[in-house]
């Protein structure tokens, strides 16, 4: 009877198999499980979990680490010269082996993507990680007290599944996602005109940004502006310096911004685009190139009246950081004292599996990656290992070192 009720309750969640699997392995000994009791104690001094499809979410972690928008003692808004999360420690996870998440929807695999996203959350809640030195699993990782979904695509497809799963497990873990936070950013930044969203193809296909921006403005009693989206299949890869892409960041931004404006013009909207949401983790890193593309396009007669003289950019990362502070304060689970070092993990193809289809540089082959089905919980195509500076591809490493200094300082050699 009890099992029937559990199944009934979780049937509304997509990842019902995964929810049930974790429940049946409540000691956290096997893949995709966690120790339930460890999360039913005082969680204040546990780390905060932040996850993304890869390294892009480090932009969100940087925004969290550098936020000073509140007084740490009074919790009132306003800077006090001290980082708002000074006493907290973070546990970051990037699902590098299974990314890009933004392309699962066009491959017809959103079902598998949704399972991956719940697995990411379970990893952070759990104790199990893979030690590449001994090629064995260790079970000594602390669970996290909060989950920050630092990936726009993962928030768009997975935040409801994660919330339902936590409810089914009876865990009071805080969940903050970049899309809801980004919509609050629009509420603060937007005045007149239309809103543009630049994101991955998957995020745009989900319709999450227009829906959540509409709800947020609607709840605030504001009218909902025209919202035009443009999905980019390549910009995140180009920013990371992926050699598969031959174009420069500036060229890619020019193409994507032009496509966004063509879609805006085609929509028949008379109002100029005045607010742009940088709805992919990587895009705030190239805001100046995106802005240069808008400036160049404004000089063309066809777009002159459709682009406002000054564009307001919304970086959801900043708003996510504020949201996280408020949620921790409301739940009274801010760290009681300085709690130590941050840790970083990255997924890699499972080295003990000989049947995986791999590329020349050791990644999961594209066709294999996008052909998988959910529900096969007894196989681990990828394992999660400590992320060191060494394990990050050289071009990406440079990007982190130059643009995300607080994260870089915390990454182990
Ligand atoms: N992190 C993803 C996002 O913000 C971009 C990279 C990917 O497609 O995995 O949507």
| pLDDT for position 268 | 83
Distance 300 CA to ligand 1 centre (A): 31
* Measured distance CA(3)–CA(11) in Å, rounded: 12
| pLDDT for position 7 | 41
In sequence order, what DSSP letters do the residues of 46-77 get, joined into one string? SPEEEEESSSTTHHHHHHHHH---B-TTT--B
How buried is 287 (Cβ within 10 angstroms: 0-12 exposed, 13-18 middle, 19+ buried)? Answer: middle
Strand partners, 60: none
Token pair 């049947």: residue:
355
* Measured distance CA(171)–CA(143) in Å, rounded: 12
DSSP assignment, residue 89? -
| pLDDT for position 337 | 86
* Measured distance CA(272)–CA(292) in Å, rounded: 17
What is the C-alpha radius of gyration for the chain, rounded to an integer number of angstroms?
Answer: 21
Q: Whose CA is nearest to atom 7 of ligand 1?
A: 100
- Non-local CB neighbours of 339 within 8 Å, separated by 6+ positions: 45, 47, 87, 88, 89
Inter-CA distances, 405 with 15, 58, 61, 66, 206, Å: 37, 10, 11, 10, 33
SS3 assignment, position 100: coil
Lookup: tokens for 229: 């989206």
Lookup: tokens for 163: 């919330």
Query: What values do phi and psi take at 183, rounded to 5?
Result: -65, -35
| Ligand 1 shell residues, CB under 6 Å | 52-54, 56, 99-102, 151-153, 200, 203, 236, 280-281
| pLDDT for position 395 | 87
Q: How many residues does the chain have?
A: 413
Can you tell me which atom of ligand 1 is nearest the CA of 52?
Answer: 1
Mean pLDDT by 10 residues, the chain (413 residues): 41 73 96 96 96 97 98 97 97 97 96 97 98 96 98 98 96 97 98 97 98 98 97 95 91 98 90 97 97 98 96 98 98 90 97 92 93 93 96 91 96 85
Lookup: tokens for 249: 């960041």
| pLDDT for position 94 | 97
- Residues 289 and 403 sit within 8 Å (Cβ to Cβ): no
- Residues 282 and 235 sit within 8 Å (Cβ to Cβ): yes
Distance 9 CA to ligand 1 centre (A): 31
Can you tell me which atom of ligand 1 is nearest the CA of 280?
Answer: 4
């Amino acid at each position: 009877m009890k099992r029937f009720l559990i199944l009934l309750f979780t049937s509304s969640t997509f990842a019902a198999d995964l929810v049930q699997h974790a429940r049946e392995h409540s000691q956290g000994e096997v893949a995709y499980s966690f120790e339930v009791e460890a999360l039913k104690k005082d969680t204040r001094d546990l780390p905060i979990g932040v996850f993304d499809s890869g390294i892009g979410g480090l932009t969100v972690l940087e925004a969290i680490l550098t936020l000073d928008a509140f007084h740490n003692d009074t919790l009132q808004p306003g800077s006090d010269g001290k980082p708002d999360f000074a006493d907290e420690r973070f546990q970051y996870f990037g699902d590098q082996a299974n990314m890009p998440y933004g392309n699962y929807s066009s491959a017809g695999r959103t079902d598998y993507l949704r399972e991956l996203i719940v697995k990411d959350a379970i990893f952070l809640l759990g104790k199990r990680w893979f030690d590449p030195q001994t090629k064995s699993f260790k079970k000594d990782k602390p669970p996290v007290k909060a989950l920050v979904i630092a990936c726009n695509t993962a928030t768009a497809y997975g935040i409801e599944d994660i919330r339902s799963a936590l409810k089914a497990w009876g865990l009071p873990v805080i969940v903050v996602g970049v899309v809801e936070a980004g919509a609050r950013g629009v509420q603060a930044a937007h005045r007149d005109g239309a809103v543009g969203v630049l994101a991955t193809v998957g995020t745009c296909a989900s319709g999450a940004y227009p829906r959540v921006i509409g709800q947020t403005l609607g709840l605030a009693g504001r009218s909902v502006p025209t919202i035009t989206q443009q999905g980019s299949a390549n910009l995140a890869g180009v920013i990371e310096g992926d050699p598969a892409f031959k174009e420069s960041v500036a060229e890619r931004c020019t193409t994507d911004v032009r496509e966004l404006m063509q879609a805006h013009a085609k929509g028949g909207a008379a109002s100029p685009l005045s607010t742009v949401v940088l709805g992919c983790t990587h895009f705030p890193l190239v805001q100046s190139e995106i802005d240069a593309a808008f400036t160049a396009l404004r000089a063309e007669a066809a777009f002159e009246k459709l682009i406002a003289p000054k564009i307001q950019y919304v970086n959801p990362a900043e708003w996510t950081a504020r949201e996280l502070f408020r949620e921790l304060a409301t739940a009274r689970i801010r760290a009681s004292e300085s709690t130590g070092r941050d840790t970083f993990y990255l997924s890699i193809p499972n080295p003990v599996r000989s049947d995986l289809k791999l590329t020349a540089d050791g990644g999961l082959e594209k066709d294999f990656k996008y052909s998988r089905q959910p529900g096969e919980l007894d196989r681990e195509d990828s394992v999660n290992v400590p992320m060191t500076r060494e394990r990050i591809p050289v071009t990406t490493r440079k990007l982190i070192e130059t643009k995300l200094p607080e994260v870089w300082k915390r990454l182990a050699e």
